[in-house]
Structure 1
Amino acid sequence: MTTAPVRPNPLKTRPVGGDRTWLLLAYTAISGLLLVFMRDLVADGPMKMLQPVLFGGFLLSLLFAYQWKAAPWAKMLVFAAAIVFVLPFMGRSNTSYFDLMIQMMIFSALALGLNIVVGLAGLLDLGYIAFFAVGAYLWGIFGSPQFAEVTGNPAFAGGINPAYFWLFIPLAVAAAAGVGVLIGLPVLKLKGDYLAIVTLGLGEVIRIFANNLSVTNGPQGIDAIESAPVPWLNSLAHTLGFAEDQYRLFFLYILVLGVIAVTIVVNQRLDRSKIGRAWIAIREDEVAAQAMGVPLLKTKLLAFATGASFAGAMGVIFAAKQAFIDPKSFDYFQSIGVMSMVILGGMGNIPGVILGAIVVTMLNLMVLPTLSEVLQSSFPNINQNLDPSKYQRLIFGLVLVFMMLYRPEGLLPSERRKHEMHSDDEHPAVDSITTENLNHGGELGGHLRDGSGVETLSPGLATRSDNERTGSEK
């Protein structure tokens, strides 16, 4: 009995290169030691510019652990060393590292939620940050003195019991998903640019509500927002040498690690599920998907609600971390920023989206502020208009332009996305007026000079055969 040879799956992620177990361990050890032992040397002066270099270089070890072919135990060791030892140690030495890492993971979860809407379902949502605001204000109102202002009861001068923080995470998931359904019902019949404009408008409507309602304290915002008390975790932080004012960040670091792990698992399961394939089918060709029995409105609403739920949960954590929120934290520039993370990293690819979130957050919160600080300290009389942090959007816009020109699939695209973006490179179009067609006969304009009586076609690009065309081209 003859069995057909198994063809490799072109959409399956494969490790790059040969076995690099020891190279991965060596790179992680060297970059980690440099980051830890040079932390005081690069704390002040011009040497501070090395902070983003050393920190980014160490984070690359996590990317290499994902990309390179290495033993599973080595990959697990790299991730464990980074998450359990190196990053907490840096956070204990310098609280700004803790703050940066928490922000990275918050925006990674936001980008993963938007990736479901944009990367999988193909729905261009420019008002995504509104769901983030729903979760943040939900806990911000109840977990702060603002609740006493709303109810008029002085017994809630410090808000409700902070232990209810754990209850408000699932409540924020449900509330954000509900808002996603309410926003999606009237607009999901639209497509492309029209959907983007409407979602942008609805996102601004929620921000304007937050700016004008008394329950949200208007433009003054809400402060003194509490987070959950975890005595045993505070005891652990004390044992590990953290200062008392670092307990809150230590707790949030552990919390966002757990949330991002759950988010990644849910995203992976959705991507490989029946509903994930339905989202991809809608993204590729709505007509074909509907013809195959995919209910368009129901499936789109599920994508909206799922993506919104991630944003709602992270909104609660964001409010607890910042201890202050106001409407400016949720303007449409934030939606554009999260969208840029998805596009920059690689739409539809979970590691790529996380990489995009890390790159953008580092650029905004570490690279440009550090560069500005070094320039101001080295050149006190420098013109304030030359401050790099003022040109954050310009710099990032140029980065996106170059990305779209030279790597439109993103920094770390999925195999499916890479195949889609470069299908024309594998099957280049044939010009019907080429020399080969003129002299020897081509697919469309052949025998133009030999008088064979074949119908002469006008010059143009030769069409590809039907089996080489994607659904959206047919």
Structure 2
Amino acid sequence: MTSLGALFNKIAESKRNQIILFIAYVLVTGLGLILLPDSTVAFLLLLFSILILYYIDFNLKAKWITGLVILAVIVPFISSFSGSYQTYMEVGTLVGIYCAMALGLNIVVGFAGLLDLGFIAFFAVGAYSYAIFASGQAAKFMPFGHYPLPGGTFWIFILIGAFVAALFGIILGVPVLRVRGDYLAIVTLGFGEIIRILLNNMDHPINITNGSMGIASITPPNFFGISIGSSSQFYYIALCIFLVVIYIVRKLENSKLGRAWKAVRDNEIAAQAMGIPLVKTKLAAFAIGASFSGMMGVVFAAKQMFVDATSFTYLESTIVLVMVILGGMGSVPGVILGAAVVIILRTQVLTNISNWLSSLSATYGIPIPPALSPEKMQLLIFGLLLIIFALYRTQGLIPHKNRKVDVARLERESAELAHKASSGGADS
């Protein structure tokens, strides 16, 4: 055991060994997915390489390039040998959509400390903003224009969805500026339900959303005349927007605004005493977080080609909040991991376990009540996960790390400035 531990430490300390083992892992898991093309386990093991990449001792730029190559080239290429290719790409698309949403909620909850239980409302606003005009629905109440709009307008509506969702984020933020804690949670929960009910009932006296019937036949997007309809195509759209969201969030986290959010989260009174404008800071958190959700709402509507109010219930808001808490509030890599874990559990793991239990029941005659199917017990499973993490890992899968300050560099710069000041005073 001692020799194995020493060997492991030797490997961990050598960057060259880490690189070799990482490449070997990607090759082995990729080969495993080729040999077992319909194996969910092989697919998940290949995706696990992204988490390994986060922990190994690579240059940050090299990590980004390697991760991008894995997600944009290796995973789609190897998955294309499988009959479940579109299923895998569907999972990847959903992971991208919900990761971007979770990062938006992380700004509100993790950075600014504003508990939002109605975040799915912004997702719905973005989805309906595209669905109404990319279908014949707009012709029912718009006296001008030709509808549905062509698929090329999808790219413009990504920005429109972000803007409309940000506007609704400000509308939500204005009346809740004076409340906090439990009261803030209640107000945001009410806001989310109000939006859902409005969308479900805005079919009279003017038919805007087609009510409970939903909006169907949404025009799929196109790119230079190429129609986009498959999950493998939407995968790249979700991936590109997701990367943009990560870049913006990382820049905001260490910016003046990001530090203001964290100050408000830690102590509003102290933040206000330091000159931080609470109104602008909170509204910025609601607006920016909502805009990410609105963008992904447009992608969701285009991918599904149908939207209705049942897709935007309180349960979905709770699921996004679970992603943030599970991953680690305030932690960008943690939230991404939390979103990926929850989506993969919902779409792959629990479904496959349920199918396996059903086949076991049919083959061996073992009576398993349908109510005990893991697929139907999602809420119980996610609830247990939250309880376990609240008790034993309160900071999530990947806890938030404060930015390290180079004290020696600051002291050196301070000494240089003091020297220049004294030299300037002596010259004068």
1:223 deviates by 1.2
2:130, 2:301 within 8 Å by CA — same for their partners in 1? yes
Whole-angstrom distance in 2 between the partners of 1:17 and 1:349: 26
- Measure the CA separation in 2 of the matches of 1:367 and 1:324: 26
- Mapped to 2, the partners of 1:379 and 1:337 lie a distance apart of 30
Higher Cα Rg, which structure:
1
> With structure 2 as the length reference, what TM-score do the two structures score?
0.84
Provide TM-score, normalisation by structure 1.
Answer: 0.76
**Any conservation in 1 of the 2:46–2:75 contact (CA below 8 Å)?**
no
Aligned to 2:385: 399
Q: CA RMSD in A?
A: 2.1
- Give deviations 1:292-337, integer Å, cap 9, x for gaps: 0001111100110000110111100010111111111101111111
Residue 95 of structure 2 corresponds to which residue in structure 1? 104
| Residue 119 (str. 1) matches residue 117 (str. 2) | no
Partner of 2:215: 222
Match of 1:163 in 2: 152
Contact 1:115/1:353, CA 8 A, preserved across alignment: yes
1:343 CA drift (Å) = 0.7
**Alignment-derived partner of residue 303 in structure 2:** 321
1:181 and 2:170 aligned = yes
Aligned with residue 64 of structure 1, among 52, 57, 65: 52
Aligned-pair CA distance for 1:140: 0.7
CA change 1:209–1:75 in 2 (3 A) is closer
- The structural deviation recorded for 1:149 is 3.3
**Pair 1:76-2:65 in alignment:** yes
* Alpha-carbon distance change, 166 to 78 in structure 1, aligned in 2, over 3 angstroms: closer
Q: Deviations over 1:89-116 (max 9, x none)?
A: 4157321111110000000000000010
AA partner of residue 26 (structure 2)? T
| Aligned-residue offset at 1:187 | 0.8
Q: Which moved more, 1:142-151 or 1:102-111?
A: 142-151
Match of 2:136 among 130, 145, 161: 145
Contact 1:21–1:74 (Cα < 8 Å) also in 2? no
CA shift in 2, pair 1:92/1:122, >3 Å: farther
Alignment partner of 1:27 is 2:25: yes
Offset from partner CA, 1:19-66 (integer Å, 9 cap, x none): 2111211112111221222114x4xxxxxxxx1x32222111111111
Distance across 2 between alignment mates of 1:138 and 1:206: 13
* Aligned counterparts of 1:105 and 1:180: Cα–Cα separation in 2: 22
Distance (whole Å) between structure 2 residues aligned to residue 385 and residue 297 of structure 1: 48
**Cα deviation code 1:214-266 (max 9, x no counterpart):** 111111111111222125766xxxxxxxxxxx853233111111101110010
Structure-2 change in CA distance of 1:319 and 1:97 (3 Å): same
Find the aligned partners of 1:230 and 1:161 in 2 and give their Cα distance. Answer: 11
Measured after TM superposition, the shift of residue 171 of structure 1 is: 1.0
For this pair of structures, how many residues does the alignment match? 379
- Aligned to 1:309, the other structure's residue is in SS state helix
* Structure 2 unaligned spans of 5+: 1-11, 404-428
SS of 1:325 mapped into structure 2: coil
> Letter of the aligned partner of 1:403 in structure 2?
F
Residue 288 of structure 1: CA displacement? 0.5
Q: Distance in 1 between matches of 2:24 and 2:368?
A: 42
CA distance in structure 1 between the aligned counterparts of 2:312 and 2:286, rounded to whole angstroms = 18
Structure 1's unaligned 5+ residue stretches are 1-15, 43-50, 235-245, 418-474
Equivalent position to 1:409, from 395, 402, 408: 395
How far the C-alpha of 1:73 sits from its partner, in A, is 4.5
How many angstroms does 1:82 deviate by? 3.7
After TM superposition, the structure 1 stretch with the greater mean CA deviation from structure 2, 264-273 or 374-383, is 374-383
Partner residue, 1:213: 202
